[in-house]
């Protein structure tokens, strides 16, 4: 599998740099006869696109997606769907400084070490700009999952912590994520973040975040032990997103400190079959979905590009002080949220297809 | 890639159930002309084998590995190395109860939902017994890495938290992990865990743990962006280990709360090239190794098999109370440590081979 | 995917050398709840095992297969099925000569060039002995295909040419393949081959062969364009078999010389849907099965190990004359036939699972 | 691996339909620091583009390739290279007939059976138009191989048979392939084909062909036994090309009829190491390159789209007579030649990278 491909049966392969002609991807393994068009995809992309509030980058990209293949008369044909987003706002500027300096916390240094060459304009391939095409691929997965799983299926997510400030879980309401610029499921905390992030911007700093993505209506049985476990695939998916430094399922790290008598989720007979009393395991046992809500949390580090001068070296190995001007997200976690939702959709659909291929073969 | 295979260029495929004839794996992509024998592998397996203290399962398995192929006159030949460990202590017992009940927190329920059939003896395929073969595969990776990277290379790990009790980082000494039954790098905390775990056992409960695995001597440049990032592959690797619910790289979740002016690791000119001032990123930037120490932490939930009765349902969907007798680890995190080391070795070797294949092609 | 793995969803990974402890494989992606046992597998292996006539090698191996995992109470569980065949008749002999000489037409030279080391005993990994495990994997595929496709499904094959002597197609009767030691579907030609091969053996030479494998009851729609086409996967499968130098589908090379007005298979309305008037395309159009009989032909070169002295070089690069004593098949094509059947079964099942995963997702 | 991807370490993923917005591919695993530009790629594409003689389709496409990513300042960066070719001459026409009829010998029927929907315009995804992007990917592979292997490396190919008319091997001269519209390495036969193909066109028929592709300067040791053998990968590669029905390596099918005393290629000590006396095995032994010339032959069936009426059925299953008007190649084998060269380049580079990754690891 190519390094720039994600997924096995339902997969996508991405390309593109921040300041090149454009970005895009090829989505393969798309089931045929699913309604699809640029109109259906665009709203997904609009959620992630830059410039929508003062808390995200001011780069101007309308992120209009062009479908190049795989659709006929408004339906998928089963052949690969290629999508292209032209870059528009590659602000012409002087790159002489950035071409010679390694920004602390950035991939500048490691790309140079690995490849011996790098497209330094806007971070090149390591830029979060690439994540737009994941949202496009995730949108297709979401459409297919809706067709396959029906109305109970839904993926939602939000930012549950910015800097040291967590939401109050007693107020958690996923519908609230559409009502503030932070995808925050708690309106009171959202208001607090507003002043906190204004302060962060003023001081020339940045903030980290924790995302939580949940999926409902996922049938029991998805995940392919031992090395294609659903939680392993989800962790891999999330860890590919820029600036992510941690992933946990259900109770996650907190579960390590719990007493064994409280940790395992008990079950009781329910009206429609067995029901779980709790969900410490986040909907996954033994790498296989339980039928409960899937719960994934993702840790995102503070944006590395900040106005405050930081110590670094240049390409000649000499000490320099780096100030990163430009139009950067004060908290990359915010725009990372729709990306995490998209990666979850792709991972779940891939798991569904793999499960049906093996365990559904003799049912059909 | 088969569901029971891990890795791309250096890979292994595992098989076996807890109470079947045996467990084993085939390791593929092994570089030729590396010294290898059962004597070299056995010490790795001995670190993980059961029955070594009262804090792990009392099942008696000497975990003697038989090499079936791929070695000639004490050297690897480049052909696949198959290894077999016969099961010995599959205690004959009455399975009538376990065959009908779903143990809370276990994969019993999900395996039944997925496959419509399950080998319920000792947990079958979902048993941690399978992890012995990962240690064998990791041992081969470790031998190859030593040959490829030389003396600076070393993978080490320890348990840094059991239940709510963390080590004191001011006392961290990796050499101490060999001096106590917990792989604890802090001797004072190790002593405290001893009484804590005795209490846990007495109450019929169990405890979770957090592992930390570090690798030194790893060159800069490993990891294949965007979807073969080193941290993504490490997260996937760790998440496949039984009972793991979270993974973080470097500062991990704590990094989300840090101020952006502290988070990014600064650099200075050093005697032998650029040096990092800190390692919040755990040796990975943009999915590529920096040349610093690689740092991974893994959250493990409390053992689900406990003596305390727990509510569940049986295969007919009726309410039952489940008491799990048998020989279970009060804290599976302890024996999970060598497994995590092994998965790290396999992941790093695979990354090294992929990196050389692409970026070293024109150097050779 | 490891180099020693074949297949994507239904796959197997093989190991073992001619004169090592044993050979075997792990079959992954096996659908659950299919009846399986060593008794079911053994008859498949018996068709390929050595020593059954004077026209095959006299090495004595009963090829008893031991199932190590993946079966519970006589049924597959969906977990990997590992199988082991211990080597028995590794005749102790003097290897000093073969360890230093490259037999013409053999892989001795290329293995040495590639790996810088080789297990020269009996050809090591390059020996046709490895093909026994393919037959075991193919047997599982065959059992699953029977369960999935029902009674119309059947894979059959035969040897249709030995040396320059072809069968007479007017006498072709697949049932005859069980009545002679050559898997020959034409009894008259079989009798002629008997005296021909006796002559070949007497002169210290060997003979090549052409195999034909056909599959009935394969539904239309299998094959995953563009790079997972059914005929491409079949060609790859056949080309991995020892001594194979050519593969063709349907009319194959002869089709190149045909007039365009005769080549394309016409269709007519039939009682149960469209029917093809001819089958020049061997049941594949655009890489997808048509629903007709699948027809594959495979060219096998004469056995390279012969008693007649041949010119070669030794490991020091010096000229030598090589005489290959030992117990070799005068025509490897004969025992290659069950191997080709097995590879076809694995390929078809894999294609079926991939097809259902993508195109059947919204039907279930 | 996605169905529309080819290769493992060096790989490409293609998209596009005959009459959609365009075709293209993403090439992944490209080694960094190789000179690359649209100017370098275009001459490869020009060899395959339509309309260059009366013996190929008259569709007008200039096949201008646009590089969308992966290049910086004229060099590859190691990130994926995406390429786009816009379709230009999608002649607007009436599709009512073709949308309802299955052309004999075409993939119309099987695409409909598989997907339940098809883009019937110009054959959609099954059109040979897709092969243009393979030539682009192959051009990149060729550039990398030149950089890696130096001046001795070269891939060349030609058409060696059209209809029943073979070249005279005593006149074989690869340089001649550039001097006639057939890529024919024998000028006398080329002249004969001219009149033959004019006759074929006049009668409303078409002709098949046999291609031969050879590679020089390929080091010994490439190919990854047992299931990544070089000849198996080459066979798979060639079989994915439209209208290909057979593949053979070296002597191929003719080798089956040879006496064992002539078949194996003998060796002698040479000035620069061992030399082979003959090349019946086409440069591959045991699935590994010998260091000799690689020789692959490919059988291509006659174009299915012909003016002569043929019997078929329509989407309602009713009998129809089909006449395929339009601009079709009277012999698709001609334009298939550069495609086969491209697939060979990709396959060899991939094998080189896989070999170095495993067997070169401890050398570097």
Backbone φ, ψ for residue B285 (5° rounding): -130, 125
**Chain D residues with CB inside 8 Å of B79's CB?**
225
pTM of the model: 0.97
Q: Distance between CA D246 and CA C170 in Å, rounded?
A: 24
Query: With the CA atoms of A90, A91, A95 and A99 taken in that order, what torsion angle do they form, in degrees rounded to the nearest 10?
Result: -30
CB contact under 8 A, A268 and B107: no
Q: Tell me what pLDDT residue C245 has.
A: 98
CB contact under 8 A, C302 and D231: no
**Nearest residue in A to B259, CA atom:** A207
Q: Angle CA(B227)–CA(B233)–CA(B234) in degrees, nearest 5? A: 150
- Which among B148, B225, B359 has CB closest to D362? B148
Residue D265 and residue D277 in contact, taking contact as beta carbons nearer than 8 Å: yes
Confidence bin at A364 (pLDDT 50/70/90):
low
SS (H, E, C) chain D: CCCCEECCCCEEEEEECCCCCEEEEEEECCCCCCECCHHHHHHHHHHHCCCCCCCCCCCCCCCCCEECCCEECCEECCCCEEEEEECCCCCCCCCCCCCCECCCCCCHHHHHHHHCCCCCHHHHHHCHHHHHHHHHHHHHHHHHHHHHHCCCCEEEEEEEEECCEECCHHHCCHHHHHHCCCCCCCHHHHHHHHHHHHHHHHCCCCECEEEEEEEECCCCCCCECCCECHHHHHHHHHHCCCCEEEEEECCHHHHHHCEHHHHCCCEEEECCEEEECCCCCCCEECCEECCCCEEEEEEECCCCCCCCCEEEEECCCCEEEECCCCCCCCCHHHHHHHHHHHHHHHHHHHHHHHHHHHHCCCCC
Q: Distance between CA C230 and CA C238 in Å, rounded?
A: 12
User: Tokens 């259902």 correspond to what residue?
Assistant: C356
Confidence bin at D1 (pLDDT 50/70/90):
low
Q: Distance between CA B201 and CA B147 in Å, rounded?
A: 43
Q: Tell me what pLDDT residue B98 has.
A: 83
Contacts of C67 (CB under 8 A, 6+ apart): B21, C36, C37, C38, C41, C81, C82, C83
Give the mean model confidence (pLDDT) for residues A53-59: 80
Residue D335 has which token pair?
A: 């334009």
Query: What is the number of other CB atoms lying within 10 angstroms of the CB of residue A183?
Result: 26
Q: Tell me what pLDDT residue D321 has.
A: 94
Q: Is the Cα torsion angle C322, C326, C332, C336 positive or negative in sign?
A: negative
B100 touches chain C (CB under 8 A): no
Q: Distance between CA D303 and CA B198 in Å, rounded?
A: 79
CB contact under 8 A, B301 and A256: yes
**Nearest residue in B to A221, CA atom:** B114
pLDDT digits (tens, 9 = 90+) for D36-73: 999 999 999 999 887 788 887 877 788 899 999 999 99
D31 touches chain B (CB under 8 A): yes
Q: Tell me what pLDDT residue D127 has.
A: 93
C82 touches chain A (CB under 8 A): no
Please list the pLDDT of chain C residue by residue as tens digits (364 residues): 699 999 999 999 999 999 999 999 999 999 999 999 999 999 999 998 877 888 878 777 888 999 999 999 999 999 999 999 999 876 666 677 889 999 999 999 999 999 999 999 989 999 999 999 999 999 999 999 999 999 999 999 999 999 999 999 999 999 999 999 999 999 999 999 999 999 999 999 999 999 999 999 999 999 999 999 999 999 999 999 999 999 999 999 999 999 999 999 999 999 988 999 999 999 999 999 999 999 999 999 999 888 899 999 999 999 999 988 776 788 999 999 999 999 999 999 999 999 999 999 998 5
B33 touches chain D (CB under 8 A): yes
Q: Tell me what pLDDT residue A91 has.
A: 63
CB contact under 8 A, A15 and D77: no
Q: Tell me what pLDDT residue D89 has.
A: 74
Q: Which residue has the higher pLDDT, B94 or B19?
A: B19
CB contact under 8 A, D2 and A24: no
Give the mean model confidence (pLDDT) for residues D141-145: 98
**Nearest residue in C to D102, CA atom:** C267
**Chain A residues with CB inside 8 Å of D78's CB?**
114-115, 117
Residue B232 and residue B239 in contact, taking contact as beta carbons nearer than 8 Å: no
Q: Distance between CA D255 and CA B339 in Å, rounded?
A: 51
Query: In terms of Cα–Cα distance, which of D53, D77, D78, D49 is closest to D65?
Result: D49
**A 131-170 residues with CB below 8 A of C?**
144, 147-148
CA D319 to chain centre: 35
- Which among C13, C24, C114 has CB closest to B28? C13
**Nearest residue in C to A79, CA atom:** C225
Q: Tell me what pLDDT residue C62 has.
A: 85
A interface test, pick of C357, C359, C364 with most A CB neighbours within 10 Å:
C357
**Chain A residues with CB inside 8 Å of C353's CB?**
357-358, 361
Residue C344 and residue C216 in contact, taking contact as beta carbons nearer than 8 Å: no
Backbone φ, ψ for residue C142 (5° rounding): -60, -40
Asked if this assembly's ipTM is beyond 0.95, the reply is: yes
A364 touches chain C (CB under 8 A): yes
The helix (run of H) or strand (run of E) holding residue C67 is strand C66-67
CA distances from D130 to D122, D133, D137, D299 (A): 11, 6, 12, 19
- As beta bridge partners, residue D295 has D214
Query: In terms of Cα–Cα distance, which of B139, B144, B12, B84 is closest to C21?
Result: B84
CB contact under 8 A, A115 and D5: no
Residue B352 and residue B31 in contact, taking contact as beta carbons nearer than 8 Å: no
């Amino acid at each position: 599998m190519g390094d720039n491909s994600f997924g096995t049966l339902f997969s996508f392969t991405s390309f593109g740099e921040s300041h090149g002609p454009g970005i895009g991807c090829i989505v393969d393994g798309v089931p045929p006869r699913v309604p699809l068009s640029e109109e259906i995809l665009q709203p997904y992309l609009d959620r992630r696109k830059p410039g929508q509030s003062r808390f995200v980058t001011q780069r101007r990209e309308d992120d209009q997606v062009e479908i190049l293949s795989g659709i006929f008369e408004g339906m998928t044909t089963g052949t690969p769907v290629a999508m292209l987003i032209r870059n528009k706002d590659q602000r012409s500027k002087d790159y002489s400084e950035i071409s010679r300096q390694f920004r602390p916390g950035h991939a500048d240094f490691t790309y140079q070490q690995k490849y011996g060459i790098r497209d330094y304009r806007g971070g090149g391939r390591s830029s979060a700009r690439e994540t737009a095409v994941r949202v496009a691929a995730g949108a297709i997965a979401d459409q297919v999952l809706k067709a396959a799983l029906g109305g109970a299926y839904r993926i939602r997510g939000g930012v549950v912590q910015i800097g040291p400030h967590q939401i109050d879980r007693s107020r958690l309401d996923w519908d609230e994520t559409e009502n503030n610029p932070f995808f925050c499921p708690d309106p009171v905390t959202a208001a607090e973040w507003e002043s906190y992030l204004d302060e962060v911007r003023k001081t020339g700093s940045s903030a980290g975040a924790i995302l939580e993505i949940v999926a409902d209506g996922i049938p029991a049985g998805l995940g392919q032990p031992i090395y294609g476990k659903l939680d392993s695939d989800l962790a891999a998916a999330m860890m590919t997103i820029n600036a992510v430094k941690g992933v946990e399922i259900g109770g996650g790290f907190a579960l390590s400190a719990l007493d064994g008598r409280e940790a395992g989720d008990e079950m009781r007979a329910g009206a429609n079959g067995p029901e779980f009393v709790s969900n410490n395991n986040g909907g996954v046992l033994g790498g296989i979905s339980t039928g409960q809500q899937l719960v994934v949390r993702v840790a995102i580090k503070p944006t590395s590009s900040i106005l405050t001068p930081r110590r670094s070296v240049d390409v000649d190995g000499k000490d320099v002080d780096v100030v990163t001007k430009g139009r950067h997200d004060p908290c990359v976690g915010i725009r990372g949220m729709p990306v995490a939702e998209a990666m979850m959709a792709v991972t779940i659909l891939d798991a569904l297809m793999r499960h049906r291929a093996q365990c559904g073969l003799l049912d059909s």
